[in-house]
Amino acid sequence: MQNIGERLEEARKRKGISLREAAEATKIRSDFLSSIEQNKFDFDLPDIYKRGFLKNYARFLKLDVEKVLTDYNAQLLSQSRLGKKTGSEWFGQMEVKKPVQPETSANPMEAEEEEEKSFGPRNLFSPPKRTPHGAVDQAEPEKEDDGDRTFYLKVGLIFIGTLALVFVVFGLIWSILSSGNSDIAETPETPVLRDVPNASEALAAGNAGEVSANAITLVASGDLRVVVRQKSDRSVIFDGNLSAGDRVEVEKTGPVDVLFTAGEHLIVEAGSARFRPNTTGTAVIPIP
CB 244 within 8 A of CB 222: yes
- Asked if residue 216 is part of any domain, the answer here is yes
Mean pLDDT of 149-155: 87
Same domain as 9, residue 103? yes
The residue segments making up the domain with residue 256 are 193-287
Mean pLDDT of 117-132: 47
- Position 152 scores a pLDDT of 87
Domain boundary residue, one of 111, 143, 169:
111
- Asked if residue 208 is part of any domain, the answer here is yes
pLDDT-derived band at 84 (thresholds 50, 70, 90) equals low
String of DSSP letters for 206-235: T-HHHH--SEEEEEESS-EEEEEEETTT--
Better-predicted residue by pLDDT, 126 or 219: 219
- Asked if residue 162 is part of any domain, the answer here is no
- At 227, the amino acid letter reads V
String of DSSP letters for 60-87: HTT--HHHHHHHHHHHHHHHHHHHHHHH
Domain boundary residue, one of 64, 91, 111:
111
How many whole angstroms from its chain centre is CA 116? 39
- Position 170 scores a pLDDT of 87
- Asked if residue 116 is part of any domain, the answer here is no
CA distance linking residue 85 with residue 76, whole number of Å: 14
- Asked if residue 125 is part of any domain, the answer here is no
Count Cβ atoms within 10 A of the Cβ of residue 110 and give its class: 0-12 exposed, 13-18 middle, 19 or more buried. exposed
pTM for this predicted structure: 0.31
**Could you say which DSSP state residue 196 is in?**
P
Q: What are phi and psi of 136, to 5 degrees?
A: -70, 135
- Asked if residue 160 is part of any domain, the answer here is no
CA distance linking residue 139 with residue 143, whole number of Å: 6
CB 258 within 8 A of CB 275: no
Q: What average pLDDT is seen over the chain? A: 75
- Asked if residue 172 is part of any domain, the answer here is no
Domain boundary residue, one of 68, 85, 111:
111
pLDDT in tens, 213-267: 689 999 999 999 999 999 999 999 999 999 999 999 999 988 999 989 998 889 9
- At 177, the amino acid letter reads L
Q: Starting at the edge strand that comes first in sequence, how are the strands of the sheet with 247-251 ordered?
A: 193-195, 273-277, 266-270, 215-220, 247-251
Question: Helix, strand, coil: what percent of the chain each, to 5?
Answer: 45, 15, 35
Question: How many domains are there within the chain?
Answer: 2
Q: Quick one: which of 256, 176, 168 has its CA closest to 217? A: 256
- Asked if residue 248 is part of any domain, the answer here is yes
Same domain as 106, residue 201? no
CB 56 within 8 A of CB 28: yes
Mean pLDDT of 178-186: 53
